[in-house]
Amino acid sequence: MKTKMIYEKNNPVLKRKEIKVEITHEKGGTPDRIAIRDFLASQLKEEPQNLFIIKVEGKTGSDSSVCQAEIYESKELADEILPKYISTRNLPPDKRETEKSKAKPEETKKEKPEPTKTPEKGKTKK
C-alpha cells in the first residue's frame, strides 16, 4: 500500500488530528479498516489504539481509496468523543462480537396491546 496525504488539520478543541489520505492498494480490493489503521499508524508513527478510521471510500474501477481518519491524544479521550459504532468498527472481528454482546442486553418480549376499534366516520348506528 502507498499513501498520499490529501488533508491534515489539527483540532485543538477536541485534542485530535483529522486527516484524509488516498491509499493505493495495487493487489486486491479495498483493504479492511484494521489493515488500513495499522498501516497508517506505522506510516504516521502513531499508536494504533489512538487512530480511528472514520470512512473509507473506494473508487470504482480503481486501485485507490480515500480514507478519513482521526488521531486522538489518548484512547480515553477518543472513547468520550467518538460514537460507539465508530469505536466498534475499528476493533478486530473477534473483539467486535464481544463488544456487540455487551452493548445489547437480553431483550424481554413485551406484549403489544391490541388496537382499539374506532367506528368509521360518517356511519352512525340506528
| Local structure of 72: helix, strand or coil | strand
Residue type, 82: L
Mean pLDDT of the region 69-77: 93
How far apart CA 55 and CA 45 sit, in angstroms, is 20
- Dihedral pair phi/psi, residue 35, rounded to 5°: -65, -40
Per residue in 41-57, pLDDT tens? 999 999 999 999 999 99
pLDDT band at 115 (very low <50, low <70, confident <90, very high): low
- Dihedral pair phi/psi, residue 67, rounded to 5°: -120, 130
pTM of the model: 0.73
* Best CA proximity match to 63, nearest among 95, 31, 110, 111: 31
**What are the structural domains of the chain?**
2-94 (3.30.70.330)
Question: Rounded mean pLDDT of the chain?
Answer: 85
How far apart CA 125 and CA 11 sit, in angstroms, is 70
